Structure 1
Amino acid sequence: MNVKKLISIVAVAGIVIASILGTFVYFKAFTANTQFAQDEVFVYVPTDATYGQVKEILSPLVKDVDKFDFVATSRNYDTNVKSGKFLLKKNMTSFDIVRSLRLNVPVKVAFNNQETLGKLVQRLATQLEPDSLKLEVAFTNSPFLEENGLTEETALALFIPNTYEFYWNTPAEKIAQKLAKEYHVFWNNDRLAKAKEKGLTPIQVYTLASIVHKETAKVDERPTVAGVYLNRLQQDMPLQADPTVIFAIKKRSGDFDQEIKRVFYNDLRIQSPYNTYINKGLPPGPIAMPDVSAIDAVLNADNHDYIYFCANPDKPGYHVFASSYEAHQVNAKKYADWVSKLGINR
């Protein structure tokens, strides 16, 4: 056999082998390898997860784990696992899957109307990797509170209801730092100036806003309600806010899930620093997480001479306001009679 013929045979054999190898690689890497019906699914890879754990997570979603394994090892993913939230699409190839497992998808985190810090961390823990205990520790450790001028009683004031963007696997400490940064952005020069004009700190504004928020769900009425409470503070009157009594009852029992529709006379005597019937001034901290409209209602409160208000039976959800105790008594009796007819009890 001459040399030219040998070279030809080797070349042909090489082409055949390359073709077979190419077909093998194509089959392994570039054919559809998912088995879920949805158009998209998200995969969550925990912090410090091993490659073996990733394969377990993917096993219900991938048709052929061996095909995925072939591509993952050839692209060094098996030794460089990334944690986070990742998007997989229907009919992705193994190559696509490995590439997607390197693209951490941000999470839109939303919270509002949380009544306590405990409720807030539970809410956040359903959206992010850190559990509620890690989050609570991050939000209440002494250096963090001191750095932001907070105490355990006022810690909730740090959190401004909104939608924020995080990576799912963001550590609890970094979540706390980012939310603290957003807090300081929210309290811009304009809001700080308005708070100072009313003789209040941002935390005091937030605390009063939490009462206003609980008093009325009607955004257009909140500046009027806020004005009433500011008038009482200026006249050194007790705030006498029913929502603070309800909070005191819940705090004493430890049950913040109970629903209290009506405050009775005996409730007004509950011994608690949060009871604004027996204590003048603001309570030690927020009684809930107010939304931004309630915070701005305090900062932009109506200027009036109202001192009293009670629910308006003729306009559900709203209140009637009075400048004198005598006028308030007339309004209060009308409301009490209406409630009694409805048979509302706690």
Structure 2
Amino acid sequence: MAEALEQNPKKRSGWKTALLILLILLLLGAMAAGGVGYYVYRSLLPMEAGEPVEVSIPSGTGSAAIAKLLEEQGIIKNGLIFSAYLKVKHEGDRFQAGNYQLAPGMTLAEITDKLNRGDVIKEEMIRFTIPEGYTVLQIAEKLAADGIVNKDSFLALANDSGKWTYPWITSIPSNAQLRYRLEGYLFPETYEMKKESTEQAILERMLAEWDKKQKSLPQGWEAQMDKLGLDLHGILTVASLVEREVAVDEERPLVAGVIYNRLKQKMPLQIDATVQYLFDKQKERLFEKDLQTQSPYNTYLNPGLPPGPIASPGLLSIKAALFPEETKYLFYVTKKDGSGGHLFAETFEEHKKNNAASKLEK
């Protein structure tokens, strides 16, 4: 009995030791958990505020890769913890690719919101307007003067229709007489493009605009071309003549009608604008020697239409070329009253009277 009593204190001592060890382990576990929790807490806090950084996120990049990228760029403290944060918040699957301006000091919520919205850096843009009736040369000079293109490169590309894939490009004849192959096909419009756009990109955009505008033409316009006996190249040629000759919109179908009437009667068109096209700078007045300039574009010396358009026509002129007003007019002369309108005549005698009357209007 005495021996049994002597063993009890030892058992009690062992039990206390085990309990102490357990308590120590629990304490260490708690301290470790607290340390991990504190580390996670600290990792979720924003970085110290700093200068903005441009971060590029390629298309198809997953949220884990984005988190790693943000850590490498110094925007967040820990990519793994940010990934876990996204999973807890059910975020990351709506992030959009692009170039972002992010800054150390942003909260994770702010970063997440910015990536979800696709709030990318706005690219620097250029804006330019091509007026109706501008020639390829005038377009090149205008864009070059604004520092947007290299004039020579632009003109070289405008003479190469083989670079473009639009089906209607095939209507441009392989004619060495064409001054610029894309003349008339660069739609006059206001454009907005990236600042560093190349000459080819700008030409492509202008051709795409014409392709788009074709869809806004009146129904049956293609059948109307067949009725007139012209292809698209011919229609744009007539439209360009109307564009350069007419200032009053209501007169566009009338002038188009005069052009078709003269073509039917095999009369030379005798349109001053085709002669002006031969000069790099438009003259205030054409003299007789100018009208004798040898060129296939000179409609005083050559019957029929010129080889191609002489400018970029707007939609009103294109519609007028497609749907001319039917009259018996063969002549017109510009009024000298400043209105920009014309006096029309069916006969040469009437035309001479109109010509004399217009001079009296000065």
TM-based fold match above 0.5: yes
TM-superposed CA distance for 1:198, in Å, is: 1.6
Residue 197 (1) aligns with residue 219 (2): no
TM-score w.r.t. length of structure 2 = 0.63
Q: Structure 1-normalised TM-score? A: 0.65
Deviates more, 1:118-127 or 1:142-151: 118-127
Counterparts in 2 of 1:94 and 1:110: CA distance versus 1, 3 Å: farther
Whole-angstrom CA distance in 1 between matches of 2:239 and 2:267: 18
Pairing 1:70–2:93 present? no
Q: 1:332 to 1:180 in 2, by over 3 A?
A: closer
Q: Which runs of 5+ in 2 are unaligned?
A: 1-22, 57-69, 83-96
Deviations 1:180-206 (A, max 9, x none): 854775678711211211222221111
Q: Of the candidates 213, 229, 250, which is equivalent to residue 243 of structure 2?
A: 213
Residue 16 of structure 1 deviates from its aligned partner by 2.4
Whole-Å separation in 2 of the counterparts to 1:295 and 1:192: 12
C-alpha deviation, 1:317, in angstroms: 1.2
For 1:273, the aligned partner's letter is P
Structure 2 vs 1, CA of residues 279 and 138 (structure 1 numbering), >3 Å: closer, same or farther?
closer
In structure 2, the CA distance between the partners of 1:115 and 1:107, relative to structure 1 (3 Å rule), is closer
Task: Indicate how the Cα distance of structure 1 residues 68 and 117 shifts in structure 2: closer, same or farther if over 3 A, else same.
Answer: farther
Question: Is 2:108 the partner of 1:113?
Answer: no
Return the offset for 1:116.
Answer: 3.1
Q: How much does 1:306 deviate?
A: 0.8
1:32–1:94 Cα contact (<8 Å) kept: no
Displacement of 1:11: 2.1
CA distance in 2, matches of 1:144, 1:269: 36
Structure 1: where are the runs of 5+ without partners? 36-42, 46-65, 76-81, 340-346
Q: Distance in 2 between matches of 1:176 and 1:265?
A: 37
Query: Does the CA contact (< 8 Å) of 2:137 and 2:155 recur in 1?
Result: no
- Residues 148 and 180, structure 1, Cα contact 8 Å, conserved in 2: no
Distance change (3 Å), C-alpha of 1:157 and 1:306: same
Distance change in 2, residues 1:15/1:290 (3 Å): same
Q: Does 1:3 align with 2:7?
A: no
Identical aligned pairs, as a percentage? Answer: 26
Task: Report what 1:12 is aligned to.
Answer: 34
The code of the aligned residue for 2:324 comes to A
Q: Quote the RMSD (CA, aligned, Å).
A: 4.7
1:109-161, CA deviations, whole angstroms, 9 ceiling, x for partnerless residues?
A: 9755263335556778999x997737953871547489623247243344444
Q: 1:165, CA displacement in angstroms?
A: 8.9
The Cα shift of 1:34 comes to 5.9
Contact (CA 8 Å) 1:239, 1:281: kept in 2 or not? yes
1:222 aligns with 2:245: no
Aligned: 1:149 with 2:171: yes
The answer (yes or no) to whether the contact 2:171–2:231 under 8 Å persists in 1 is: no
Distance of 1:135 and 1:213 partners within structure 2 = 22
Distance 1:139 1:125, change over 3 A: farther
Partner Cα distance (2:306, 2:29) in 1: 93
Larger C-alpha radius of gyration, 1 or 2? 2
Q: Is the 8 A contact 2:171 2:232 kept in 1?
A: no
User: Contact conserved, 1:112 with 1:290, CA < 8 A, in 2?
Assistant: no
Q: From 298, 302, 305, give the equivalent of 1:282.
A: 305
- Kindly state the Cα deviation for residue 267 of structure 1 after the two structures are TM-superposed: 1.6
1:309 and 2:328 equivalent?
no
For the residues of structure 2 that align with 1:177 and 1:240, how far apart are their CA atoms? 30
Give runs of aligned pairs for residues 21-170 of structure 1, distance below 5 A: 21-23=43-45, 26-27=46-47, 69-71=73-75, 96=114, 99-101=118-120, 111-113=130-132, 115-120=134-139, 133=153, 137=157, 140-142=160-162, 144=164, 148-151=170-173, 153=178, 154-161=181-188
1:237 equivalent among 250, 254, 267: 267
2:284 to 257, 261, 279: 261
What secondary structure is seen at the aligned counterpart in 1 of 2:332?
strand
Shift of 1:2: 0.7
